[in-house]
Structure 1
């Protein structure tokens, strides 16, 4: 089969995973924040070297069916408030205060919209309404609004306003001020969610558009015909032109959750907590009985939105998180040094300490094998920074500082997922991301979790998880109170939209699987029930205040699988070397180092030990044992009773 390339773009490193239908090739490259398309192509060029023995990017691209891409660009844009100023035109005098309910909402509204809210009387006669709309739009754009969100009380009033805007502000007069109509964007009848969805999407859209279309253009320069697919936070992928910017937010963690779901099924695990530890954040999600925890109506930065989202929360702790001294206390994050300048040991000018610097000086990391020898780490720089910012001010030795910093990091990481542990005995922590395997056991012990699973592809696991996505589009319509004829027309309209959009994705509707469902919500938009529905079934009962008919059209792509767990004969793991690792301020232990890829299924060992996997280092503390599974994953168990 043709290759499928999955790319997960993070704040510090970008992960590339290539599947040819049988084998995986994967690599990592430093993220280039000045031009994200650069690290995309750098990573694929690096992957081509691994596959062909020499760099041959054109050959890789022309043997690839699709590139599925997930980016933190939208997430970062919202965190850093890097986007256009938004103006809101509404017929509700109370809308602004409604949207500002709660500290998180108020802060985001003030930053994205501020005072750029115009209120009109949509019940006036058309001529007066038109004059008022012109005045208000002119005021909003004069006040700096680069994008407009139209939020009327109902769909008909919004259509009336749209007609006025099209007549009074043809494209050549309004210029480059795009307009989003909230009822067109989503049929969600809960006004706050609907309008917030429009505001956030309008804010994210230009940032995503510039980068993604630039990447598409670069692919065309290589004469690549297959479209770039954008991986979304609903677990599906679509072409750039058919993707909604809001659905790219936090898409990387969804890839990790899809991979975690595959682990849960393969190993028969009741509850798996994903901890995806990147350079800047740790993303935590839950999979119970092989089902991803998902919110029917999600939230972004504490603000409710109309779209379903994985129930993932992020904590400001990662491999590049700054470890600092505040009022005499060692703290971890949320600030991060990112890829530029990066940890001090990267040698790019970093002047702040990170857990990467700590693990280098503790002996956990080998300076010459980091990122599979991608570049060498500079221990002297780490030593100088930690002495200056931690050891010196506290009046302690460098060795004592390292132990305290590691303990603070373990504690901080454990708080990122401890509240998600309902039953420690039935919970498994799946630790991945470049920094996850180094610290997972230390953090899990504090949280009371006794089992940690580190997948062989831990370093690129979210990119691996993207491989479970299909090309899909989802639609919904409110069917409460519809007559039989209106319901039939609604169903036909959804199918026609799916037919058109999937054709533009490159596939006939007959090639796609159609998934219908009926979702019942109460007046506040809380989920009451969700039932599958067949297109040939009679009109369903729509007794709830909001009853939504949803349709997902899915073109299935090939998926990889994780070998099912099975009993294997145990044998001692074979170490390849030893490493001096500091366990206390006064003690350094010579511990065995195991190369994960050279171990047989069933290989077992005990801590203290180091296990080196592809692009990651796992620390096995004293009291933990490890087993290598038939899939080549690392299962770690705490043998010390709490």
Structure 2
């Protein structure tokens, strides 16, 4: 039987990573510079290069799984569509009033980001539906026509519709939809009753607007990518990674691009979750450090931690629950990530007070660090790691990228070491420690700030720079085990290959559990289940290959924020209501450190359902064999390990050399990443090809 391949493609700020996984377990990898003007081009070019190296053809590829930052970049750079919004009279300014939350409590200089829809493009209609869904003031058809005509006259590129309480009764939004369909049938539109039929006015409006804002951009990108793949002789079906860690089809992504905003970082977490299950690791913290950012997340008891909403364009996302409000709120499930502006390309600089700083500005793919010799003049973390002897001073990416270590040395000496009045290696090591401490903040945000002790977890490190920093950071946090997976530098692409197709559904359904009609709640969940089953069946997932999982958002009566608890299979009855109260109380105690007494009523806020489409078999081969031959020549070089150890002659090995275990210091050099094992640590390669470092 012919070998077929799945391709995982992840576009980062610096590199585009491509992994091909064959049905026989063979892996082909490729890392090329991201083509910033046209991201689709880098994918087609990269796949063509892999075909040239391996002799494969486009016909051998069964499926392309893709993580993209196209949607989030459109929001960050304010390059989305010109959107018009139709809302209820009196609610025109919800986008500007927001939730009155501030990310910096005492910063009077902080200004809110500009709304994605300017005020003159926000039109109102005179209608009113109450919170139970009763029509108090019917929408006049002439009023609906007037609002749509006004936006069409302004030449908007997409329309968002979000009326008060439409989650309880969408009749007026449906009328507006019919008017838009009649007057501008091809105009992209986003209606809140279809996009997010949930309570909370600002969150629902913001999410509906974001969906409309990126719709034309994402649709254009996906069309260009499809065209490029077809022209390159690659007819494979295209699946996109969603922010929640599941895959979706390119058609569904074009319809609901709000689900792929944080598509990029999700792949690595999903891959880490799959490998943790095979290694029986119950608790891991994932740490992904690339060229521009570092991201941390948590996998506990085999489940990825998910947030029910997050802010886009909030800059660095260190997930504190209290300091929110910096970006644009998106109320869709997403992997709970903390992110800092710390990567290999982060600039090292001296602030006005004479203190050494690292990031968040980055040299990116162009011009890149000084040592890339592509015109960069500002010293970066990669330059510091070259000077410390951690990175091969001659080349990166298996020799594809030649480094100019001398240029990095002179830039670092001139701009950092000399002004600080210290030896160059101490200045470089200081920059290395500062960026590590910034990233430790992200790890604490997903562990300590969530009521978890990081010492109970293993650190799962990947990304081009993750394995280089992981052991030092783990030592600072009291973590005694670090796992570095195979193809660590390309692991976000690799993780895409482990994901399942997923669709998430939710509906506001406020009921006090002790007084609720459980039959009514069961019927509402059944309706969501039918919707999920129909969507999965349309994509070819039926019977054993379609799986449904329920969950519920709950809070104590009077609270304004919810926590999510899983809902096991079985009848929705009084016993289930008791179980949900108990599960919510346990999650409340785990997250906030306390729970209310048994008399405190628990309120169901919304019902949720995830429909998963599973591949035949596990989809993941038992053993993975890289097509890249590891170099067998062992060398050594001088590396600097701080004041306590100074410069040490450090063996440079391949992953295969760790089969019997070795004590640090040592450096493991690979095509896509470098792993540093400090003095006093022990590293060995396990049966799955992972490097396990014990501190």
* TM-score range relative to shorter protein: 0.7 to 0.9
Q: Which moved more, 1:325-334 or 1:257-266?
A: 257-266
1:64 aligns with 2:61: yes
Alignment check: 8 A CA contact 1:183 1:194 kept = no
- d(CA) in 2 for partners of 1:153, 1:221: 47
Residue correspondence of structure 1 range 313-462 to structure 2 within 5 A: 313-327=338-352, 328-419=354-445, 420-421=447-448, 422-462=452-492
Q: Give per-residue Cα distances to partners, 1:469-504, cap 9 Å, x unaligned.
A: 123333344566899998798667546644553354
Query: Cα distance 1:492–1:36, how it changes in 2: closer, same or farther (>3 A)?
Result: same
For residue 310 of structure 1, report the CA deviation from its aligned partner: 1.2
**Structure 2 unmatched runs, 5+:** 105-109, 129-134, 315-323, 581-601, 625-631
Aligned residues: CA RMSD = 3.5
- Counterpart in the other structure of 1:502: 536
SS of residue in 2 equivalent to 1:112: coil
Q: Which moved more, 1:375-384 or 1:490-499?
A: 490-499
Q: Give per-residue Cα distances to partners, 1:566-598, cap 9 Å, x unaligned.
A: xxxxxxxx98111122345895332111111x3
- d(CA) in 1 for partners of 2:204, 2:355: 43
1:187 aligns with 2:247: no
Residue correspondence of structure 1 range 94-113 to structure 2 within 5 A: 94=91, 95-96=94-95, 98-103=97-102, 110-113=114-117
Q: Which moved more, 1:530-539 or 1:67-76?
A: 530-539
- Counterpart in the other structure of 1:604: 661
Query: Cα distance 1:222–1:178, how it changes in 2: closer, same or farther (>3 A)?
Result: same
- Counterpart in the other structure of 1:48: 51
SS of residue in 1 equivalent to 2:619: coil
Q: Give per-residue Cα distances to partners, 1:29-48, cap 9 Å, x unaligned.
A: 11111111121122222333
Query: Cα distance 1:264–1:549, how it changes in 2: closer, same or farther (>3 A)?
Result: closer
1:153 aligns with 2:164: yes
1:311 aligns with 2:336: yes
- Counterpart in the other structure of 1:73: 70
For residue 604 of structure 1, report the CA deviation from its aligned partner: 1.8
For residue 49 of structure 1, report the CA deviation from its aligned partner: 4.1
Q: Give per-residue Cα distances to partners, 1:435-478, cap 9 Å, x unaligned.
A: 11112222222333332221222111121211121233333445
**TM-score normalised by the chain length of structure 1:** 0.86
- d(CA) in 2 for partners of 1:164, 1:620: 62
Q: Which moved more, 1:487-496 or 1:219-228?
A: 487-496
- d(CA) in 2 for partners of 1:29, 1:528: 40
1:471 aligns with 2:512: no
- d(CA) in 2 for partners of 1:143, 1:91: 20
SS of residue in 1 equivalent to 2:469: helix
Alignment check: 8 A CA contact 2:295 2:340 kept = yes
For residue 433 of structure 1, report the CA deviation from its aligned partner: 0.1
For residue 84 of structure 1, report the CA deviation from its aligned partner: 2.5
For residue 149 of structure 1, report the CA deviation from its aligned partner: 1.8
2:680 to 598, 623, 634: 623
Query: Cα distance 1:307–1:128, how it changes in 2: closer, same or farther (>3 A)?
Result: closer
For residue 432 of structure 1, report the CA deviation from its aligned partner: 0.8
1:39 aligns with 2:38: no
For residue 294 of structure 1, report the CA deviation from its aligned partner: 1.6
- Counterpart in the other structure of 1:571: none
Alignment check: 8 A CA contact 2:197 2:506 kept = yes
Q: Which moved more, 1:138-147 or 1:219-228?
A: 138-147
Alignment check: 8 A CA contact 1:7 1:14 kept = yes
Q: Give per-residue Cα distances to partners, 1:292-330, cap 9 Å, x unaligned.
A: 112245554455433221111111101111111112111
SS of residue in 2 equivalent to 1:110: coil
SS of residue in 1 equivalent to 2:653: strand
Q: Give per-residue Cα distances to partners, 1:526-558, cap 9 Å, x unaligned.
A: 136431346999998799453426251524254
- d(CA) in 2 for partners of 1:587, 1:96: 55
1:532 aligns with 2:568: yes
SS of residue in 1 equivalent to 2:402: coil
For residue 274 of structure 1, report the CA deviation from its aligned partner: 0.8
SS of residue in 2 equivalent to 1:437: helix
Alignment check: 8 A CA contact 2:553 2:606 kept = yes
**TM-score normalised by the chain length of structure 2:** 0.80
SS of residue in 2 equivalent to 1:212: helix
- d(CA) in 1 for partners of 2:78, 2:622: 39
Query: Cα distance 1:287–1:317, how it changes in 2: closer, same or farther (>3 A)?
Result: same
Q: How many residues align?
A: 618
SS of residue in 2 equivalent to 1:286: strand
Alignment check: 8 A CA contact 1:484 1:539 kept = no
Query: Cα distance 1:274–1:535, how it changes in 2: closer, same or farther (>3 A)?
Result: same
For residue 50 of structure 1, report the CA deviation from its aligned partner: 4.5
- d(CA) in 1 for partners of 2:613, 2:457: 32
Q: Which moved more, 1:297-306 or 1:620-629?
A: 297-306
- d(CA) in 2 for partners of 1:128, 1:476: 26
Q: Which moved more, 1:626-635 or 1:271-280?
A: 626-635
**Structure 1 unmatched runs, 5+:** 565-573
Residue correspondence of structure 1 range 176-325 to structure 2 within 5 A: 178-243=188-253, 244-300=256-312, 301=314, 302=324, 304-325=329-350
- Counterpart in the other structure of 1:556: 615
Q: Give per-residue Cα distances to partners, 1:225-258, cap 9 Å, x unaligned.
A: 4321111122221221112212112223222112
Alignment check: 8 A CA contact 1:238 1:473 kept = yes
- d(CA) in 1 for partners of 2:565, 2:518: 22
2:650 to 591, 600, 606: 591
- d(CA) in 2 for partners of 1:556, 1:535: 28
- d(CA) in 2 for partners of 1:127, 1:552: 36
Query: Cα distance 1:62–1:445, how it changes in 2: closer, same or farther (>3 A)?
Result: same
Alignment check: 8 A CA contact 1:232 1:248 kept = yes
Alignment check: 8 A CA contact 1:188 1:306 kept = no
- Counterpart in the other structure of 2:585: none
Q: Which moved more, 1:158-167 or 1:343-352?
A: 158-167
Alignment check: 8 A CA contact 2:506 2:606 kept = no
- d(CA) in 2 for partners of 1:513, 1:165: 31
Alignment check: 8 A CA contact 1:503 1:509 kept = yes
Query: Cα distance 1:385–1:493, how it changes in 2: closer, same or farther (>3 A)?
Result: same
- d(CA) in 2 for partners of 1:266, 1:504: 31
